Chains A and B, each alone.
Chain A
Amino acid sequence: MAEIKVENLHKEFGVGEDRVVALEKVNMQVQGHVFVSIVGPSGCGKSTLLNILSGIETPSSGTVTITQDNREAEPGYVFQAARLLPWRTVMDNLLFVQKDRSDATRERCQKYLDMVQLGDKGDKYPGELSGGMQQRVGIARAFSIEPDVLFMDEPFSHLDAITARSLRRELHDMWVQTRKTVLFVTHDVGEAVELSNRILVFAKGGRLEDDLQIDLPFPRDAANEDVAVAKAQVLRKFEELDLVAT
């Protein structure tokens, strides 16, 4: 079982007058087959947290441990922009992050391309695909290494509403099928409520303000009354915490 443990995590950028605190003494723990969303206003340190968890940035102080059954866990990452190599085909983009190029690995990559409905696009270049399709390749790439935990940084924020909605459904199905631990950063409260078991609310200055459980059955439709109520509750929480931009 995958476990993410964050203890006293602190991150600052700059020195002197330019000093900015991105994360302030954050403590959290995520375990097992859960979908956890991290929400908060712009500049609350959401992406910094994910960058530290994935090793792109180092913390100023504090510790982060990501384990899978007492060994170091392997993470997968989906970015805000797809971040594909434009000079490699879709299949080669998936193979780029694999440990080998064996037939079994290729079959696995093909399986995840099929899952995001791009099974026949393996030999296309990213430039030949639409924005939504590129993001699907990004999702397939993250799943294709069969990671223990999956970090996603606002993966649908660049897409139009309809594309984002269909990708959210696909992501939910893949999460159910693969039973991964997912940490999902978003500024869209509706998206967080539709997808997650748990929502971590961050405030400006990088403070973890609240930890909410969303105990509603899946699949959740935005039009469903319970989902709408839950969304309103989370938004009210935002107002209480004075997180709503004015």
Chain B
Amino acid sequence: MATVVSQAPLEEQGLMRVLKSPRTARILFPFAVLAVWYFIYYTIDSRIFPSPQQVLEFMWEEVTLTSGISYGSVVENLYGQFAISIMRLTIGFFVALIMGTVIGLAMGISKAADAFFHDWVMAVLAMPALVWALFLGLWLGFGNLGPILAVILAGIPFVIINVREGVRNTPKDLFDMAHAFGVPQNKVTRHVLLPSLMPFFFAAIRYAYAIGWKGLVITEVFASDRGMGWTIKFWYDAHRAHGVIGYALFFVIFALALEKLVFDPLADRAFKWRPKIDVVEMAEGDFGAVASEGFLLQESEADEVVSMKSMEGEPRDG
């Protein structure tokens, strides 16, 4: 008699399937946060800890400019403070990107350049943003230059390291192929070198932006008289937690919006050649491979995992 050794798992039905889906999990997360928030609000007796409604009301008043609060003499509202921070972030971000790419390329190509910059990059990477904030405040006062430099200093090591790794990981076998077919150098640069650097460059952009934001806000807290960081400190000094949390949420919403509306579509366009896979499944299945190189090279690591799978997969045709 035949014995069943292995069989396909039974399809999960109805409610269980809905509960286990990633989409449900994503929708559930904000509700879980709210539940915890309410729990703390009602169990801990505090005059300062705000309820979610208080925070939302505050944010709405700020957005509609109906709170009647004016911040400082030059810029008076949310939009003014935001505009200043974004201006500082954008300038710092692009300077970090351009300088970091040039230094990263030099370090990837030349061993001497690598030796020259290596310790310097590690030192900048190791320095806490708070130290930059205090030092830049003392040195440059409360103008724009300090916060812009903070963005550059926070972001540039991530750009340098990613670009350098990208150059070191360029696919030699594809260059050899192009050489064997006598493809001219400018075509090789355009079709082989640049696309192979793209995953590393995207990782650099995301990190420089995210870490740059953090450097900016902390510098604005200590060494600025305007901007988002300064506004958060304003509410802190006033002992109004709803203001601190409200502005922190503005900050988070902006960061998420930029990620979803700018970086994700750009990445989708640049990497449409990648085989479509279930990201969650891959992260679970190949977690070791994705996590092994730490967090710096996430984008490129994911790329490697995919390409290894697709290049070495079992042939499927006849």
Contacts and interface: CB of A to CB of B under 8 A. Distances in A.
Interface of A: 54-56, 74-77, 79, 81, 83, 85-89, 96-97, 125-128, 130-134, 145, 151, 159-160, 162-163, 166
A163 B273 contact: no
B314 interface: yes
A83 B174 contact: yes
Interface in B288-318: 306-307, 310-318
A127 B310 contact: yes
Contacts of A126: 273, 310
Most buried by A among B177, B271, B272: B177
B187 interface: yes
A194 to B, nearest CB: 19
Interface in B174-188: 174, 176-183, 187
A85 B191 contact: yes
Most buried by B among A126, A127, A133: A127
A88 B273 contact: yes
B80 interface: no
B26 to A, nearest CB: 27
A86 B314 CA distance: 17
Provide the main secondary structure of the chain B interface.
helix
A85 B195 contact: yes
21 contacts: A55-B179, A55-B180, A56-B180, A74-B182, A77-B177, A77-B181, A79-B173, A81-B173, A87-B273, A88-B191, A125-B272, A125-B274, A125-B275, A126-B310, A127-B273, A131-B314, A131-B315, A132-B317, A133-B317, A160-B314, A163-B318
A232 to B, nearest CB: 29
A127 B318 contact: no
A63 B170 CA distance: 31
A216 B173 CA distance: 37
Most buried by B among A81, A97, A166: A97
Nearest to B176: A56
A87 B311 CA distance: 13
**Interface size range of chain B in the complex:** 20 to 34
A77 B180 contact: yes
Contacts of B192: 85
Interface of B: 173-174, 176-183, 187, 191-192, 195, 198, 271-275, 306-307, 310-318
A89 B289 CA distance: 27
Contacts of B183: 96-97
A160 B271 CA distance: 30
A163 B313 CA distance: 14
Contacts of A134: 311
A166 B318 contact: yes
B201 to A, nearest CB: 13
Given A55-B180, A126-B310, A127-B274, A132 B191 contact: no
B318 A162 contact: yes
A97 B178 CA distance: 7
Contacts of A96: 178, 183, 187, 191
A99 to B, nearest CB: 9
Nearest to A50: B180
A86 B179 CA distance: 17
Nearest to B173: A83
A131 B310 CA distance: 8
Nearest to A54: B180
Nearest to A130: B316
Contacts of A159: 315
A228 B70 CA distance: 93
Contacts of A86: 273-274, 307, 310
B197 to A, nearest CB: 11
Contacts of A75: 180
Contact of A81 (B180, B182, B198, B311): B311
Given A75-B180, A87-B198, 19 more contacts: A55-B180, A56-B179, A77-B177, A79-B173, A83-B177, A85-B174, A85-B192, A86-B310, A125-B273, A127-B310, A130-B313, A130-B316, A131-B314, A131-B315, A131-B316, A145-B181, A162-B318, A163-B315, A166-B318
